[in-house]
Structure 1
Amino acid sequence: MLTIGRRPLPVVGRARMYVCGITPYDTTHLGHARTFVWADVAVRVLRHAGVPVEVCRNVTDVDDVLTSAARRAGSPYDSFAAVQQFYFDRDMAALRVHPVTYEPRAHTYVPQVVALARALLELGHAYERDGAVYFRGSGVRERAGIGAEEAARLMAEFGDHQDDLRKDDPADVAVWRPSAKGEPGWPSEWGEGRPGWHAECAAMAMTTYGPALDLHAGGADLRFPHHAYEAAMAEAVTGVRPFARAWLHVGVVRVDGAKMAKSAGNLVFTTDLLRHHPVGAVRLLLLGHPWAADWDYRPDGLEEAAARLERLHRAAYRTAAYRTGADRPAASAGERAAVRALLDDLDVATALAIAEEEGGQAARTVIAVLALG
């Protein structure tokens, strides 16, 4: 049985996994790649354990940051997003990230966001003002364990300004926002507008899976406000708690102590690394620290990852060549220990150490499950 965050995640039937995808306005950098590679490892570990997994990874193609980037490029927002999505899909394939089962795009789920806003209004969890629909967010911060000052800073960083005078409470967030001329907009009973970011993910996840998920993955920097409000909206409208049984909040990638971000000007692009290094080495670099930990990127880390990848491959062939089907020997104690480590909170470090020490089938299994071959 897989544990995530030290909590068991038993599955009966299929596992339903939702991965917070990209806002397609720029090329994939290591911060993106780390989240999606770790999510891919969770899927691979579950499938190796015999659990069928369905993966929904959304595309946030209705977003003010995307609209601004498209405007600077002189392109319609939807065309611009489609081009960036192509590059992202190419990067994911190059990184050996499994294709997902569902890939909803926000612009095709606007009716579902309207339905979500309508339901929240009818249940008293939202209110309409000047063409906007606001979700009542009292208690969301406390439930997420975030202090008031930190919550205000994070909400402002992600565009949920607490000084919006139309709000009843600074903690409230927009489910639906009016659109000005030149902004993407769709008709609704509250006027021409567009979805709020948190509402987009709530609507896409619930439309795909119903009222609850088994595992929700995304960057740790999205824990609040995005994931906290996404879950709160879903739980308010369905009455089902928890929205997600487990969360895979992958730590951020930093450069010289600063979070890797376009605004910081410190991006390291996946395509650049893959031009000069084996895919397995790049994946191993991204998996080289526990999934929940923040991590500082160093260029020489790739050389270390490549050297370790070479050691793993040498270890894998210390015994007879790999066999399949009826000819394959029973799992060794080392292989079983490595798989147990992977099931124990995705403990890749321990699994790799066992693989190097034991070699043979243990190493081959770890290489296969982590897609390092």
Structure 2
Amino acid sequence: MKRMQIGIIGCGNISAIYLKNLGSSEWAEVVAVADRIPEKAQERAVEFGIANACTVEELLADESIELVINLTIPASHAEINLAAVKAGKHVYGEKPLAVSLEDGRLILEEAKKSGVRVGCAPDTFLGAGISTARRAIEEGLIGRPVAGTAFMLSGGPESWHVDPEFFYAYGGGPMFDMGPYYLSALVNLLGPIRRVSSSTGIQIPDRVIGSGPKAGTPIAVQTPTHLAGTLDFAAGTIVTMIMSFDVRGASDLPRMEIYGTNGTLSLPDPNFFGGEVKLRRAGSDDWETVEAVFETEHNERGIGVDDMIKSIREERRHRASGDLAYHVLETMHAFMRSSAESRHVTLESSYKVPAARLDSLKL
């Protein structure tokens, strides 16, 4: 079967792993790269043997390109996603789908009008770690899931990142930066989220860039840096979630755990594709390793693109979808609203979880 021709917009750091992985894809062929800074596109084209380094406008006008991968900064996600679907192209973007809920809805509406699909990172939940946990839950190893925890606790990226201001602007913070990994995994494990309650705050407002040419420059913190809340899932599971850039010391709290009527699952970091899943059965003092569904040997970023193309060819739903990304986006906004309005926020969106990835689709 002929591979789908793809164009990548945004040639920053993250583009390298997409280009590397998709270079060996059975389903995708990257034929063009574009960036607002032409030199970046040219550098990636030379590095990965891409024939066409062009402008964003030229890429979108190229009728041979069926799918656009949007790797721009979050503030540009909506603009590029909308331009791609209006040009009649499928689009797969980095997270989040958009910064605002209004833009997220508009992207999905325009895609429906144009008859194209929307996909969105993260696709880490398609890796062996979360896939193995999902099979364990579906096979009843912990009984009925009743509760869970999810923790991402750090001191923030300014100590090592040379240009970290965007992490603290609107649409940034620990929730919009790392929340999509945790929420996408949880939804795929437990189903759609029904409502959210939370408290949020800027607990450490005084931040300074710690490395690079901007070292010593103060950072204007414009978004919550500590968010603690509760997710009520439609199936009844209650998950406690904390996302923080305000934890300056180490923490031994697990990344994620799911508690069932017959036992507990300890999950690996959802920011990665692999990792062991541990099971402690009711009445036992020992953890056991759950046999992996398949092996994840490397960073598989881009596997969601492969699955999306394959699903288009096979006329089925793809997994790292715009519908999932929108449900996650609404959940993240609900964290902000719940705290600001001192109430539970019930979500308007829902999500029907597709069949799990159990095949050997690999990059």
Larger Rg: 1
Above 0.5 in TM-score? no
Give TM-score scaled by structure 2 length. 0.28
Q: Write 1 or 2 for the structure with the bigger share of helix.
A: 1
Return the TM-score normalized by structure 1.
0.27
